[in-house]
């Protein structure tokens, strides 16, 4: 999902589209919070997570720490 798509989704959930998000990761976590979920995207929880959600494919990808 592109950052533009995430911003539109955030707007659909009532988050301000013009708010300065520091990263795609933080934007997904804010959407998770708004939906009443645990803001667990790309955290240490992903290593033991077995839940399938909208973000699970992207969340479990390996990436360098500086990219998060």
Torsions phi, psi for 13 (to 5 deg) = -90, 5
Domain limits, the chain: 3-67
- Of 55, 62, 58, the closest CA to residue 9 belongs to 55
Chain-centre distance of CA 53, in angstroms? 11
Tell if the pTM clears 0.75, that is, is over it.
no
Quick: pLDDT tens for 8-47.
Answer: 888 888 877 555 556 788 889 989 998 898 999 989 998 8
User: With contact defined as beta carbons under 8 Å apart, do 32 and 40 qualify?
Assistant: yes
């Amino acid at each position: 999902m592109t950052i533009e798509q995430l911003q539109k989704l955030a707007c659909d959930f009532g988050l301000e589209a013009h708010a300065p998000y520091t990263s795609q990761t933080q934007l997904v976590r804010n959407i998770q919070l708004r939906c009443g979920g645990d803001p667990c995207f790309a955290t240490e929880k992903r290593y033991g997570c077995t839940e399938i959600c909208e973000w699970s494919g992207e969340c479990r990808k390996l990436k360098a720490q500086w990219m998060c």
